[in-house]
A and B are shown apart, each in its own frame.
Chain A
């Protein structure tokens, strides 16, 4: 099976702010990789490594400064957004809107729609349908946001730090949802700071630091290659122990 997404020489620079002299900041510096269809790919890295910028370019939210992104061999274009699902790290929804209404609202944006009842079952939202989205707990909210990312029955889903701030029960419940998504042959791109989460869910991981992809492989291969017992050891070995942003 060919790659669903290819990232070639991806680069993103910004004009830095705050200093007297304007300075070009390189957030992503020549990143290359491809994703095999159906896998869960984890993108790891310390704060400020360029993960979110890379993922936002892959999502089509940010325009790259240089390089290209190919979806099924073609540059991402007008209909790309219809085929992907996104759960942002930080997002908000309209005020005074209920869970069922927000699901129907987002479903209406897409030509291809998942069955809402099935999504409700998958994400365990049955008891929340009449609730205002702003009255949900952290775990409930993440399940709603995941359902929104799946509302168009996407071929590729981006989950940007989806379990940050959740309690252990809610995190494990979320992992189970991700496994169920994968069982639907959907490709998943996951960014996380939790190494156990990456080990648990990802078929492949890529580690970024200072805007570059510095290592890539299956979790077990990487542990063996670097003679580390855990992904956390591997992460610290590759990115150092210095405090980041």
Chain B
């Protein structure tokens, strides 16, 4: 344990004294959150989003032909109603029963209703009480995840590759320090940093743009921790043998960029092709963002997001085991 604490302290000192990297780690997510907050809080999205329940025998409806409305199909009515309640849908229609729902507090819902009734008037109306979820409320979980991903992959993976190339690992290999002690210190050090950064970014952004948090902070903390461990383990796996910074950087980019675009950081994959949705499940970031977003915007419990949390745990175990087995000091 003495060796573990010593190498953990050295790694933390190294990071804290690298003031440029430290300030960038805190500043970058703030810039993105605040920037997106200002860009999207004004409700600048110009499309209506309508949910369509596909149950029973569909009846032809002109409304579905309307331009500038995005239609999203649902099979389960409750799922669609939950989204309408959070203003993630402006209107929900069931063509087979000729019924529709809007949220009583949604201005866009009111306008969407006018459009629907201008085409056909034989629709049965229902209203539900809802609360508006702005894009930034939805985005914050993705931004926390994206920041964690870059911090984990490049902060751990790239750093170990650099240590290997410049001989730091070889010097450490010549001591009784074990690979397990070294690697676990890297993981714990980065974990402390990532959770600390997430904490500051979360509450700092909250003060600035007051985004919504419906769920429990404890549940969010558990999800953040599991996500951070999983992404850090992935960084360790990439760095297990790579000795070239160029190759390492390329591999890390190859992993991080598809994750950034396919894990739902910036936009929802709801309307995406089914195979894209399936492919996205191989990324740990997808599971983190799904769970964190469900907790923050829907108040989901740990049990409700347990499939995502289990996926993160299994991936962490696989990445850590492979990373330790493949690890080479030089």
Contacts and interface: CB of A to CB of B under 8 A. Distances in A.
B175 A81 contact: yes
Interface string B163-184: 1001110110111110000000
Given A81-B175, A81-B176, A97-B13, A61 B170 contact: yes
B2 A91 contact: no
Contacts of B163: 94
Q: For chain B, which range describes its interface: under 10, 10 to 19, 20 to 34, or 35 or more residues?
A: 20 to 34
A14 B175 CA distance: 25
Q: For chain A, which range describes its interface: under 10, 10 to 19, 20 to 34, or 35 or more residues?
A: 20 to 34
Interface string B8-21: 01110110011000
Contact of B171 (A60, A91, A101): A91
Given A105-B7, A108-B2, A95 B14 contact: yes
B132 to A, nearest CB: 46
Given A104-B6, A105-B6, A105-B7, A91 B176 contact: no
Contact of A96 (B14, B173, B330): B14
Contacts, number: 63
B14 A59 contact: no
B18 A88 contact: no
Contact of B6 (A59, A92, A109): A109
B3 interface: yes
Interface string B270-311: 000000000000000000000000000000000000000000
Contacts of B173: 61
Given A105-B6, A108-B3, A109-B176, A96 B18 contact: yes
Q: At the interface, is chain B mostly helix, strand, loop or mixed?
A: helix
Contacts of A92: 166-168, 171
Contacts of A175: none
A93 interface: yes
Contacts of A82: 176
Contacts of A59: 174
Nearest to B329: A61
A94 B10 contact: yes
Most A Cβ at <10 Å: residue of B3, B167, B170, B174? B174
Contacts of A88: 167, 170-171, 174
Contacts of A110: 175-176
A189 to B, nearest CB: 14
Contacts of A207: none
A79 B9 CA distance: 25
A92 B10 CA distance: 14
A109 B167 contact: no
Given A59-B174, A110-B175, A91 B167 contact: yes
Contacts of B6: 104-105, 108-109
A181 B264 CA distance: 61
Given A109-B175, A109-B176, 10 more contacts: A81-B174, A91-B170, A94-B163, A95-B18, A96-B14, A96-B18, A97-B13, A101-B13, A108-B3, A108-B5
10 contacts: A81-B174, A91-B167, A93-B168, A95-B14, A95-B18, A96-B17, A96-B18, A101-B10, A101-B13, A105-B10
Interface of B: 2-3, 5-7, 9-11, 13-14, 17-18, 163, 166-168, 170-171, 173-177, 330
Minimum-distance CB pairs A-B, first 9? A108-B6, A96-B17, A92-B166, A109-B175, A86-B174, A91-B167, A92-B167, A96-B14, A91-B171
